[in-house]
Amino acid sequence: MTVITAASPAEGTETLEPELQELARRVRDFADDVVAPAAYEYDTQRRLPIEIIRQMGDMGLFGLPLPEEYDGQGKSYLHLCVAVEQLARVDQSIAVTLEAGLGLGAMPIHRFGTEEQKRTHLPSLARGENLAAFGLTEAEAGSDAGGTRTTAELEDGQWRIDGTKQFITNSGTPITSVVTVTAVTGHRKAPDGTERPELSSIIVPVPIEGFTALPAYDKVGWHTSDTHPLVFDGVRVPEANLLGERGRGFANFLSVLDEGRVAFAALCVGAAQGCLEQAVDYAKRRRVFGKAIGDNQHIAFKLARMQARVAAARAVMHDAARRLDAGLPFTREASLAKLIGSEAAVANADDATQIWGGYGFLNENAVARHYRDARILTLGEGSTEVQLGIIARSLGFDKAFG
């Protein structure tokens, strides 16, 4: 690995405020000293290391953007992005556990919950003692929310929830305490006279009768990240567990997804940076025909291209995070950051593997894990096509979408 002095700022943070630089240094050191040495073991075991998650909780990472009154740190969303990037350099699975646990798990409750809901759920999530999941995706619903089949009927002051969800992160861990789920709670007449499903969000504390996290997926990558299909079979929760206004579930989650994409973009930047670091280190160490392979111009140019991708992805990610924190519109910028970051990570993973040669194909090396893990980045939290659609619409090309 590249040798970095304890006092030096983390790569790409030199222009950030001192507090953010210190956070980046602290998380970088934790990632290098604690996460990286254990990454291969947990990857092969396909097990989320709860002990590492606990340490992250003790560091305050799961409470970074949450208010202090709920045991959070009261920091900006950019603070979360800085932490996620540093973790993703060495292990994307650990980084997405933080990103999804906060961006998709805790933030909906923070943004739309009642005071009672916040006080019930947020403190343990902010301390990293528990994890929360975001139940949106179904076999026929995700980007197309109109395909939602999960239902929630109000019976005697309780919501009865029936349906299935898939690809849900943090949903089956030993410390998962809540799954927020989108469900059809009725139908409403649209302006054109047709009936459309009314989608609402409901908080489901787990474990609970009728809820099952089916066996984890056998995934290509992100082996340490906890991901399950879920079954809701007559799950009953109080009417007060409605999150936000009835019928506003999907609109609220679109807002949460915009925020989540910014943190997801930070994960992409971290992955791209990690691939660059691995490739630079190997290009300096590996000698062929009497010289380091990095002394060959075609390798040096490949590394330069990798650096350019990282710099561009980080710049747009920081811009999106700062716009979010300033209360400015950031939907387009979030999609730009996610699009550019995910493509940078995939390209850098491919280039790093090529530079490492056969050793880059061995799972014990971080390069191989990044190669497998990076492929999901152009799919998760809105595919590349979804991001292109959002960006195109922001340019005024709505008619291109029917």
Query: What are the residue numbers of the active site?
Result: 381
Give dist(CA 336, CA 397) in Å, integer: 16
**Beta-strand pair 195-205/176-189:** antiparallel
Give dist(CA 350, CA 292) in Å, integer: 20
String of DSSP letters for 77-109: HHHHHHHHHHHHTT-HHHHHHHHIIIIIIIHHH
11-21 as b/e: b if 16+ CB within 10 A: bbbeebeeebb
At 65, is the secondary structure helix, strand, or coil? Answer: coil
**Beta-strand pair 242-243/195-205:** antiparallel
Cis-peptide, bond into residue 9, ω within 30° of zero: no
String of DSSP letters for 204-246: EESS-TTEEEPPPP--SS-TTS-EEEEEEEEEEEEGGGEESST
Inter-residue contact 103 to 55 (CB < 8 Å): no
Sequence-ordered list of residues with C-beta below 8 angstroms from that of 70, at least 6 positions apart, any chain: 63, 110, 118, 119, 122, 123, 126
User: 280: part of which helix (H) or strand (E)?
Assistant: helix 249-285
Inter-residue contact 125 to 131 (CB < 8 Å): yes
Give dist(CA 211, CA 231) in Å, integer: 6
